[in-house]
Structure 1
Amino acid sequence: MTKEKNSYVNRELSWLQFNERVLQEAKDESVPLIERLRFLGIFSNNLDEFFKVRYATVKRIDEAGKGGKSELGGVKAAELLEIITKVVIQQQSDSLDILSNIHKRLEKEGIFIINETEIDSKHHNFIKDYYIQNVSPALVTIILNDSLEIPLLKDSAAYLAVKMVLDNNEKQYALIEIPKSMDRFVVLPKKGDDNYIIILDDLIRYCMDDIFNIFNYKSVTASMIKITRDGELDFDSDLSKSFIEKISESVKHRQIGEPVRFVYDKTIDSETLKYLMSKMGIDSKDSVIPGGRYHNRRDYMGFPSLGRTDLLYDKIVPLQIKDLSLQNSIFPSLSERDYLLHTPYQTFSYVVKFLREAALDPKVKTINITIYRLAQISHVASSLINAAKNGKKVTVVIELRARFDEQANIDYAEQMQTEGVNLLFGVDGLKVHSKMCVIERKEGKKIKRYGFISTGNFNESTAKVYTDFTLFTSNPKILKDVNKVFNFFNTNYLIYRYKHIITSPHYTKSKLFSLIDNEIENVKLGKPAYIKLKLNSISSYAMVDKLYEASRAGVKIQMIVRGICCLVPGVPGMSDNIEVISIVDKFLEHTRLYVFCNSDDPKVYISSADWMTRNIEHRVEVSCPIYQEDIKEDLLNIFDICWSDNVKARIIDETQSNQYRTNDNPKVRSQFALYDYFKNKLNA
């Protein structure tokens, strides 16, 4: 087995296998029906982002004339583009079969998704009125002309490509943009107990006569198309412009980026397809993918529930943390000990409570926090503004380059700046991806620090569906180090030393290597040795090679990796001591946890960093040690519960087949088991 061919799984292909696991959830008949539709939406949304970012990157490597073989896991860029297109076409075909199956199942539940040919008299007037009142004012319709250049189509917008055959047998083409501002699913009046829904595209098809009544045509057809554009931001070098201005202009420019994918309804007639591709300058070198009747299936994430809670997952009530009150002051409790928050099983309200109390407390003098992605309506942001209005010195390090959330962060940055918050825009050349906050509070004659370090964003919306750890602490050793990171943001020409936390880009790789080397040394000495990792992704070849080294030495390694895994486990002589599983279920697994045996005195870290080159070398990341024994025990228990999952865990191996892990042990569905774990702790 040669290293070049077999040591690594290509990053892009591994990502597509992750999205295959999402598609498995849509296919799984044990998943509630409407949730299955929403998983199809997640699958589609993931694929859009993949083409904007990863496919676009490989395409740039190919166009630059670089083989890209070393960067792409032993595959040439041109070859990889072909493989990706082939895999995606198959996945798209599978997803359409799954969607058809779900529609049939919904009909048995009295939910009918009808098209423009299935509308009866009871719905006719409602649809026509809905079109006139809501849809028509929002429509953008483009009449195409041979002598005119086609207007630039928006990134990821869905268009109906219309072909009219006129009375004189001439062809007239047009494009109708499906309005993004409207709900994609229009709920129609019920008939008896049955629910009816029409997709906005079909409602528009039904009203073609209203749109094109100035044309004398014999027939009209409409087929959907979509363009996906390169999502990379190109920055202006104009020194007179502020960073916010440059980011704003780059975000706008993204809408006219190079096309990287053209998706079309596979039933479109060849004449129309040829005409459109010619007008848009698309050829066979581009990723041209035949799809179904409907594109932008990401909208299924917002499929209406119709009050059918029986077709949804049961909602959980987020729990409180034992002995940490949401009614009383949080600081006296934190002064005594640390607390671990695990969302969404426990309530994110503790983060907001901490910041709101800090905003009002006269003893609090400063608040420093990093922001990567905020909720659309953010209580975190309003708390920070409140603190500034109360005279606190509030410094927010906001990452304006958080991919696809740039505009939202720009809007919040401008709002906070106006309200007196001191804003820092990170470090040149490094994304700020660390998740941390530290406040300074005057207690008597001394200043005491309190803070929190997290694996996830301070975002109330995603905290309901992303699993994340947040450590609340007043440990002076940890917070002194965290404060140094904020000093680095102010004076980033200085490289600080940290005694406790692990930081990127300066120390993560060397520190992790040291921790792995310690396990290798211990196993050679006959001492207990193991490594347990929970990550979103691992694609750094340096980290993969180090784990291979540990495996060859005899260190047992258990890994739970949600997404990209370039490591190949279970290969004799290379990785036979490494096992990897992936869990995809109701919530998005987002916790990052590192555990090193350390001769049965485990070293445990929670982290903002995946084991990817970008996290280790090109971002500001923080991994925080866990010193308090009961929290350390909780984290070890959490890992073991996840590791024992035999319902939603898939085996990651050389075959890349996403086989579910099955065994004769009692059934453990880790996400449900973790909720019970915290519920039992609370009631103990």
Structure 2
Amino acid sequence: MNFEESKYFINRELSWIEFNKRVLQEAYDKNYPLLERLKFLAISASNLDEFFMVRVASITDLVEAGFAGQDASGLTPREQLEQIAVHIHKFVKKQYNCLIKSIIPAFKKKEIIFAGYDKMDERQKEYLHKRFEELIYPVLTPLAVDQSRPFPLLANKSLNLAVRLKGTEEERFALVQVPSVLPRIIEVPSENGKRIFIFLEDIIIEHIGFMFSGYKVEAVCPFCITRNADLDIDEEDAQDLLKEIEESVARRKWGAPVRLEIIRGSDIETKQFLIRMLEISEAETYEVPVYLDLTAWMQLMSVEGFEHLKDTPLSSPIPQDFWGKEDIFSAIREKDCLVHHPYESFDCVTDFIRQASTDPDVLAIKQTLYRVSGNSPIVKSLITAAEHGKQVTVLVELKARFDETKNINWAKMLEKAGCHVVYGLVGLKIHCKAALVIRREEEGIRRYVHMGTGNYNDQTAKLYTDIGIFTCRDSFGADISALFNFLTGYSMVPTWKKIETAPFSLRLFFDRMIENEIEQVKQGGKGRIIAKMNSLADKEIINMLYKASAAGVEIVLIVRGICCLRSGISGLSENIVVISIVGKFLEHSRIYYFENGGQPKIYLSSADLMTRNLDRRVEIAFPVEQERLKRRLIEILKISMEDTVKVRIQRKDGTYAKIDKRGKPQVQSQMVFYEKAKKAVEQLQGQAFDQID
């Protein structure tokens, strides 16, 4: 069988759309509080925005460049755009069905009303008129479009109003930007316990004539444009990478339009005017029934009095491996420590750097930073460490998409404080997650290491599921030291003692481990692979998995997002099961399990099985060798595979379906992990009390 036939591969973009459908399904789940459902709807919209700004934009560039090559699934760029448009138009319809037919009626039952201007009583209209005059009108700027005043360059994702006017002469067009500095959703005074809201653009439309005295307003068309926001950086010729990225980020607002969103039923002349001015096609134009930009609904998450419509925040307990330990270094010396976020608190990671920053015995700290929070305690600790005279080296990845500006600002602050800041490598993103603390102790110099599957971001650590390991074993200390030396200086790629790295050895490592499972089957044994990741798209790895399946290796793939592999095909992938878990938390951990003839090998990694991770990023994979920790990871995989509530299983055509729950226990893996983390600490507390007694 030819594993490389295009019919055996799912197009990456269409697979991503399937993932976003799973996100949208959560918005329909009435087991969530209402605002949590609305949040999933907004997330699906935010995901879609980024998809257009990056993926659709890059494919459009290929079409305009005349590239007609096929991807692994056999589609040319033009064919991909055509199929994307068909699927996304259907998806947007489902989004608005969810909003209009499910979520807004649910709000109405709770006497929370979203209404247009015409539904307001006279007192409310008077309030809105006064608000318009005092607060809104002063920040509005009408922009005429004529021979002397060309169509303006509107910012990416800005909400605007196109106005068709009739004067004494010919018809004219003008634009008014809906100011982003004002709240999009505005509460209106009401009685009888009701909460009534109106959208900012509805207020502006009602008063639009104030800005065009002497003209008759024939039509008003709200619209939003999405632009190409992928950075175009010539790293080879850039004299100053930081400056080049700063300039590229500034240009991001003004990339070529890739999507036009307007309200359905808008004035046809105004619509055609926008299509003509933006040089966009009908296929790239998306008409929606109401309320452009569904991400705006996230504003309701911060409205006072809506706390009962949200989930009660889960308080992450102290990780069981750090319970009762005030000195983080003594805890790590005692044993390797595994932490599972957000079910266990991320504080141990921030404490690791914080304690190191002021510890007189700590000589140096080295750390990679890919995405950090806006008020990062880790960055503050690194600055404190430098101020205390420690040698601090930080690898800040400036090319972390949509976090470039934040990372540039942090990099400048770190440099100003005296840290050595490295901005990454030409042609490679530094995506690995590692921190190294070098400490002077009685026995000599000891190296403490943290390696993880997720970013050093204290905010996303509350929402993303990730796993980290703390160790002071010499082999890992030597590897991570060598990794930092390679990234910051000039040296040959080391021979690793424990870890595997991309783009150097990680691809070969996965090939070797899969081949080993095939060999186990050939020798009459059992071959088994369980891989948990965010995305699977690399063609060579998929071919290896097909080869393993055809040889009889049992494979379970727990893939949150993109999966270009087709499961369940006779003779090819009949031994492969693909499942996806989408729930309250974003599944982000990467765990790779290989049966290895009954002596399982388990690796954690920063890398997904995508070509970019294996060939164009600096990544690490590291083994978990202590039996106690291996059992915990095996249990995490087992519980994930037993999920019956938030799991979907891939079908042969690449779509996903919820499993048949009949006769099966209700297992929601994320909640199981949270309960187990709480119970583990409760047991430790109980043991401590018993000792006191």
The verdict on a shared fold, with TM-score over 0.5 as the criterion, is yes
Contact 2:219 2:267 in 1 (8 A): no
Residue 445 of structure 1 and its aligned partner are, at CA, apart by 5.4
Q: 1:253 and 1:30, CA in 2 relative to 1: closer, same or farther beyond 3 A?
A: same
Residue 217 of structure 1 and its aligned partner are, at CA, apart by 3.6
What is residue 47 of structure 2 aligned with on the other side? Answer: 46
Contact 1:149 1:279 in 2 (8 A): no
Report the Cα distance in structure 1 between the residues aligned to 2:480 and 2:398, rounded to whole angstroms. 21
What is residue 642 of structure 1 aligned with on the other side? Answer: 640
**Length, aligned pairs only:** 679
Per-residue displacement from partner, 1:93-121 (whole Å, max 9, x unpaired)? 11111110211111001111122222223
Residue 344 of structure 1 and its aligned partner are, at CA, apart by 1.3
Residue 635 of structure 1 and its aligned partner are, at CA, apart by 1.0
Contact 2:258 2:280 in 1 (8 A): no
What TM-score, normalized to structure 1? 0.96
Contact 1:61 1:68 in 2 (8 A): no
The amino acid across from 1:677 in the alignment is K
Contact 2:235 2:241 in 1 (8 A): no
SS at match of 1:559: strand
Aligned ranges for residues 487-506 of structure 1 at < 5 Å? 487-491=485-489, 494-506=492-504
Residue 133 of structure 1 and its aligned partner are, at CA, apart by 4.4
Aligned ranges for residues 208-607 of structure 1 at < 5 Å? 208-210=208-210, 212=211, 214-219=212-217, 221-235=219-233, 241-284=239-282, 287-304=284-301, 305-325=303-323, 328-444=326-442, 446-491=444-489, 494-607=492-605
| Runs (5+) with no aligned partner, structure 2 | 684-693
Contact 1:263 1:291 in 2 (8 A): yes
Contact 2:392 2:420 in 1 (8 A): yes
Contact 2:502 2:614 in 1 (8 A): yes
Report the Cα distance in structure 1 between the residues aligned to 2:589 and 2:12, rounded to whole angstroms. 20
SS at match of 2:344: coil
What is residue 9 of structure 1 aligned with on the other side? Answer: 10
Report the Cα distance in structure 2 between the residues aligned to 1:678 and 1:237, rounded to whole angstroms. 45
SS at match of 2:322: coil
SS at match of 1:621: strand
SS at match of 1:599: helix
What is residue 107 of structure 1 aligned with on the other side? Answer: 108
Per-residue displacement from partner, 1:151-198 (whole Å, max 9, x unpaired)? 1111121212222334x4743322222223333222333423211222
The amino acid across from 1:297 in the alignment is L
Report the Cα distance in structure 1 between the residues aligned to 2:290 and 2:146, rounded to whole angstroms. 25
Contact 1:38 1:302 in 2 (8 A): no
What is residue 86 of structure 1 aligned with on the other side? Answer: 86
Report the Cα distance in structure 2 between the residues aligned to 1:302 and 1:572, rounded to whole angstroms. 49
Contact 2:321 2:338 in 1 (8 A): no
The amino acid across from 1:63 in the alignment is E
What is residue 98 of structure 2 aligned with on the other side? Answer: 98
Residue 306 of structure 1 and its aligned partner are, at CA, apart by 4.0
What is residue 175 of structure 1 aligned with on the other side? Answer: 175
Most deviating of 538-547 and 316-325: 316-325
Q: 1:219 and 1:253, CA in 2 relative to 1: closer, same or farther beyond 3 A?
A: closer
| Runs (5+) with no aligned partner, structure 1 | none
TM-align CA RMSD: 1.9
Report the Cα distance in structure 2 between the residues aligned to 1:391 and 1:103, rounded to whole angstroms. 57
Per-residue displacement from partner, 1:603-662 (whole Å, max 9, x unpaired)? 111111000000000000011111122211111111111111111111112223321112
What is residue 158 of structure 1 aligned with on the other side? Answer: 159
Q: 1:185 and 1:525, CA in 2 relative to 1: closer, same or farther beyond 3 A?
A: same
Report the Cα distance in structure 2 between the residues aligned to 1:215 and 1:492, rounded to whole angstroms. 68
Residue 227 of structure 1 and its aligned partner are, at CA, apart by 1.6
SS at match of 1:95: helix
Residue 492 of structure 1 and its aligned partner are, at CA, apart by 5.0
What is residue 678 of structure 1 aligned with on the other side? Answer: 677
SS at match of 2:265: coil
Report the Cα distance in structure 1 between the residues aligned to 2:576 and 2:604, rounded to whole angstroms. 21
SS at match of 2:231: coil
The amino acid across from 2:494 in the alignment is Y
Residue 240 of structure 1 and its aligned partner are, at CA, apart by 7.7
Most deviating of 655-664 and 52-61: 655-664
Residue 291 of structure 1 and its aligned partner are, at CA, apart by 2.6
Most deviating of 456-465 and 520-529: 520-529
Residue 310 of structure 1 and its aligned partner are, at CA, apart by 3.4
What TM-score, normalized to structure 2? 0.94
Report the Cα distance in structure 2 between the residues aligned to 1:130 and 1:472, rounded to whole angstroms. 56
Report the Cα distance in structure 1 between the residues aligned to 2:138 and 2:445, rounded to whole angstroms. 59
Most deviating of 305-314 and 23-32: 305-314
SS at match of 2:648: strand
Contact 1:343 1:467 in 2 (8 A): yes
The amino acid across from 2:113 in the alignment is F
Per-residue displacement from partner, 1:467-509 (whole Å, max 9, x unpaired)? 1111122122112111111011123552211121111000011
Per-residue displacement from partner, 1:569-615 (whole Å, max 9, x unpaired)? 01000000000111111111111111111122211111110000000
Contact 1:224 1:293 in 2 (8 A): no
Residue 135 of structure 1 and its aligned partner are, at CA, apart by 3.1
Report the Cα distance in structure 2 between the residues aligned to 1:229 and 1:431, rounded to whole angstroms. 24
The amino acid across from 2:8 in the alignment is S
SS at match of 1:362: coil
The amino acid across from 1:375 in the alignment is S
Q: 1:233 and 1:216, CA in 2 relative to 1: closer, same or farther beyond 3 A?
A: same
The amino acid across from 1:681 in the alignment is A
What is residue 128 of structure 1 aligned with on the other side? Answer: 129
Per-residue displacement from partner, 1:32-71 (whole Å, max 9, x unpaired)? 21111111111111111111111112112222222231x3
Report the Cα distance in structure 1 between the residues aligned to 2:639 and 2:217, rounded to whole angstroms. 61
Contact 1:326 1:353 in 2 (8 A): no
What is residue 686 of structure 2 aligned with on the other side? Answer: none
Percent of paired sites with the same residue: 36
Contact 2:321 2:337 in 1 (8 A): no
Contact 1:606 1:624 in 2 (8 A): yes
Residue 142 of structure 1 and its aligned partner are, at CA, apart by 1.8
SS at match of 1:563: coil
Contact 1:41 1:298 in 2 (8 A): yes
Report the Cα distance in structure 2 between the residues aligned to 1:557 and 1:238, rounded to whole angstroms. 41
Residue 25 of structure 1 and its aligned partner are, at CA, apart by 1.0
Q: 1:389 and 1:129, CA in 2 relative to 1: closer, same or farther beyond 3 A?
A: farther
Contact 1:488 1:494 in 2 (8 A): yes
Q: 1:243 and 1:519, CA in 2 relative to 1: closer, same or farther beyond 3 A?
A: same
The amino acid across from 1:9 in the alignment is I
Deviating above 6 A after TM superposition, structure 1's stretches of 4 or more consecutive aligned residues are none
Q: 1:629 and 1:445, CA in 2 relative to 1: closer, same or farther beyond 3 A?
A: closer
Report the Cα distance in structure 2 between the residues aligned to 1:279 and 1:203, rounded to whole angstroms. 26
Most deviating of 133-142 and 488-497: 133-142
Report the Cα distance in structure 2 between the residues aligned to 1:174 and 1:632, rounded to whole angstroms. 65
Report the Cα distance in structure 1 between the residues aligned to 2:9 and 2:235, rounded to whole angstroms. 37
SS at match of 1:117: helix
What is residue 75 of structure 1 aligned with on the other side? Answer: 75
Correspondence 1:30 to 2:18:
no
The amino acid across from 1:672 in the alignment is M
Report the Cα distance in structure 1 between the residues aligned to 2:177 and 2:69, rounded to whole angstroms. 37
SS at match of 2:360: coil
